[in-house]
Amino acid sequence: MGSHRTWGTVFVGAALLIANSGYCGNALADEASLRSVVDAYVAAFNKQDPAAIGALWTEGGVHRDLDTGERTEGREAIQKDLVTVFRERPTAKLSAQIQRARMITDDVGRVEGETTVVVGAEEPSISSFTALIVRRGDKWLVDSIEEVAAPTPAGSYEALKQLEWLVGKWVDQSDSGRVETVFRWTPNQAFLLRSFTVTGAEGETQQRGTQVIGWDPRARNIRSWSFNSDGSFGDAVWSANGEQWLIKSAQVLPDGRAAAGTYVLTRVDKDAMTLQLIGHELDGEPQPAGEPVKVVRVAEPAATAPTTTSTPTTEPRGASR
């Protein structure tokens, strides 16, 4: 498959498991282990099982609340606090969105993200967290967690402006064809619109498509919806990972088959980005990985400025220790 075909389908929603292309297999496996610790933590919290959560901490683990300055040190103390939390909030449910996971050394990893705690009909409590996870023998354990109340974007533009560098015209050219992509704001800057055209080596149009990228204030993430001239459509969730964006997508193909997975989009500089398909499933069957694709800017984005803003709200931090 030519590189233009890869770029033409990335935002369409054909899927993909994202990872830094420079990582070796062991690093990818270790990062997956970091994520599995977070998943296990959430599962144990939602079962209200303090012992299971305690087993995920190191003996001398430390939890810090950066808003209050409170520090809880040691597995036993953390587990005791959770007993109190579950007694006082028996309906509390926790979810976590990982924004970045990376290895610092062979035995130490860092995970950043957001947690949401919901207690009955109360307003959800959203926190930003940073966790250090360490290898102890054949296990990965939490050594520290820092939490702070998550900032709330003032509006759609405030949430999407981290993608504003995409605005403009981009081209992916190869021997087998060309993909022209244009990103632009909607008039009120509530959404980013992407349109693309795929042409073959002889200049014939093979595919056109449109994508809408927006902010979901309930899920607190960036989402996109794609619609293509061949009848396929899909949606995706975007999350930042340093200078990269992980785009987890799902798509329905014209023949009814389902594609799912994740792509990694990396900003190289203001006029270049790369895209790589690391993993891809078609009707649940793994597909071959793709090669990195370089996409370059061919026109400067039009100068824009947000037209409306709203006052950000403050939400309490969740008791997700």
What tens digit of pLDDT does each residue of 199-220 get? 998 889 999 999 999 999 877 8
Of the residues 115, 132, 149, the one at which a domain ends: 149
Given a contact cutoff of 8 angstroms between Cβ atoms, the answer to whether 230 and 125 are in contact is: no
Stronger pLDDT, 153 or 176, i.e. the higher one:
176
Both 78 and 138 in a single domain? yes
Count of domains in the chain?
A: 2
Both 13 and 82 in a single domain? no
Evaluate if residue 19 carries a pLDDT over 90.
Answer: no
Residue 315 in any domain: the answer is no
pTM: 0.59
Mean pLDDT taken over the chain: 83
DSSP, collapsed to helix, strand or coil, labels residue 73 as strand
pLDDT for the residue 13? 31
pLDDT for the residue 240? 87
Both 125 and 190 in a single domain? no
CA angle 127-111-128, nearest 5°?
A: 10
Find all residues with CB under 8 Å of 44, minimum gap 6, and list them.
52, 53, 56
Residue 72 in any domain: the answer is yes
pLDDT for the residue 226? 93
Which two three-digit tokens encode residue 171?
Answer: 């081209």
Evaluate if residue 250 carries a pLDDT over 50.
Answer: yes
Evaluate if residue 195 carries a pLDDT over 60.
Answer: yes
Averaged pLDDT for residues 80-90: 94
Of the residues 149, 179, 202, the one at which a domain ends: 149
Residue 308 in any domain: the answer is no
Stronger pLDDT, 315 or 222, i.e. the higher one:
222
Write out the H or E segment, with its range, that includes residue 249.
strand 244-252
Evaluate if residue 241 carries a pLDDT over 90.
Answer: no
What does R_g of the chain's alpha carbons equal in angstroms? 22
Averaged pLDDT for residues 222-227: 94
Evaluate if residue 185 carries a pLDDT over 90.
Answer: yes
Of the residues 126, 149, 172, the one at which a domain ends: 149
pLDDT for the residue 304? 55
Neighbours of 262 (CB within 10 A): 20
DSSP, collapsed to helix, strand or coil, labels residue 158 as helix
pLDDT for the residue 111? 94
Confidence of residue 14 (pLDDT cuts 50, 70, 90): very low
pLDDT for the residue 11? 38
**Residue 102 maps to which CATH number?**
3.10.450.50
Q: What percent of the chain has pLDDT over 70?
A: 84
Confidence of residue 17 (pLDDT cuts 50, 70, 90): very low
Given a contact cutoff of 8 angstroms between Cβ atoms, the answer to whether 155 and 310 are in contact is: yes
Domain that holds residue 31: 25-149
Evaluate if residue 39 carries a pLDDT over 70.
Answer: yes
Q: What is the pLDDT of residues 125-163, one digit of tens each?
A: 889 999 999 999 999 999 999 999 887 777 899 999 999
- What is the 8-class DSSP label of residue 270? T
CA distance 21 to 290: 11
Both 179 and 288 in a single domain? yes
Q: What is the pLDDT of residues 263-317, one digit of tens each?
A: 889 999 999 999 887 777 888 888 877 778 999 999 765 555 555 444 443 333 4
CA distance 258 to 247: 16
Whats the size of the chain, residue-wise? 321
- What is the 8-class DSSP label of residue 79? H
**Residue 244 maps to which CATH number?**
2.40.128.20
Find all residues with CB under 8 Å of 150, minimum gap 6, and list them.
114, 126, 127, 128, 220, 315
